[in-house]
Chain A
Amino acid sequence: MSPRARQISCVVVLLGFGAFLVWGVLGLQDFGHWTGLYGRRVLKVASSERQVTNVVSAVNFDYRMFDTLIEELILFTSVMGVMLVLRHQRGEDPEPEHAAGDSEGFEDTTDGVRVLGVILIGVTLLLGLYIVVHGHLTPGGGFQGGVILGAAVLLVFLAGEFVTVRHLHPVETMETIEAVGAAGFAGLGLGGLIASSAAFHNFIWTGTSGMLISGGTIPLSNLAVGCAVFGAILILASELLEQALIVRR
């Protein structure tokens, strides 16, 4: 195909796509005037039925928890895929030569970054824990909190050395944490099946709305997802770091 024909076909396709996009957006309901029944019902019922103040988490981790389970498994599978692709293969030197330029390609971390990193580690860790634990009360939850917790550990790398992070045996520990999170999530579903013959039924006493311990299984699911995401982020990062740092060691 000549460049000219390619350009013309590209313009035609883009115009068609643009037309459909504009058509679709014009057909949308005005902001705040959605007429779906499900959303209204959930808004009316959730806070009194499940004793949570963050209705988003009631939908994600209770009413539509099987959706979240699938998302959780997608994350789990994609992490396994990355580990499979980045594993040491035959013919690759697992302990690469030390001679090849110790800090080549890496400039030494400046003091400013180190000090800021050390200060931020504690704050980030606390924020991550807060967001995971208060998922059913305020915006946030397992996913957001898990990523923030992962960032806190990566700050250790930024402020110190990869060696320090290696002492934590990231991959082995994180694999366990991720697997425990995923299993815990599935276990909560099974618990509902056993306790009230419906998978993912909220089978724990829901407590009083606004308290830290309330919402039945919702905070527990947040914790499980938090563990799984925390593990996943760190496995991804440390697998990629291993690859990136292979020359440095």
Chain B
Amino acid sequence: MNALQFVTIVMVCLASTVVVFTRDPLRQLMVAGIAGLLLAILFFSYQAPDVALSQIVVSTVAVPIMVLLALVHIKRDEGEHEEEDES
């Protein structure tokens, strides 16, 4: 294990822990994206560029789109319920 691999493993552990302890979904999404990028660097440092690329596209494109759209959806539903309560 060289220095780059060691440093990235430590950073992936830290970032993943931060993801778990972030409670706000939107912030959690951002932190999870950063953790995913660090994971991609880890794969790259272990000479797996193909896997690293897949990790990048999944953690920074596919997952954020799904989660963001779901969040918009939930927010809208909450707004509707509040309106119903008021009327």
Please judge, given known A-B contacts A147-B61, A154-B65, A237-B65, whether A105 and B53 are in contact too, CB under 8 Å: no
B69 touches A241 (CB 8 A): yes
Q: Is A131 an interface residue (CB 8 A)?
A: yes
Please judge, given known A-B contacts A151-B61, A247-B76, whether A139 and B49 are in contact too, CB under 8 Å: yes
Would you give the shortest CB distance from A172 to chain B, in whole angstroms? 20
- Residues on A with C-beta less than 8 A from B73 are 240, 243-244
Q: Tell me which of B53, B57, B69 contacts A240 (CB under 8 A).
A: B69
Residue of B nearest to A247 (CB): B76
B76 touches A244 (CB 8 A): yes
How far does the alpha carbon of A21 sit from the alpha carbon of B46 in the complex, in Å?
21
8 A Cβ contacts from B27-55 to A: 46, 49-50, 52-54
Total chain A interface residues with beta-carbon distance under 8 A: 26
Would you give the shortest CB distance from B16 to chain A, in whole angstroms? 16
- Residues on B with C-beta less than 8 A from A141 are 50
Contact with A along B53-86 (1 / 0, CB 8 A): 1101110011001100110110110010000000
A31 touches B46 (CB 8 A): yes
A240 touches B66 (CB 8 A): yes
Q: Which 9 A-B pairs have the closest CB atoms?
A: A139-B49, A147-B57, A240-B69, A244-B72, A144-B53, A56-B50, A151-B61, A139-B50, A244-B73
Can you list 8 residue pairs at the A/B interface with Cβ under 8 Å?
A: A57-B50, A139-B49, A140-B53, A144-B54, A148-B57, A237-B65, A244-B76, A247-B76
Listed in ascending order, the chain A residues whose CB lies under 8 Å from chain B are 31, 54, 56-57, 104-106, 131, 139-141, 143-144, 147-148, 150-151, 154, 233, 236-237, 240-241, 243-244, 247
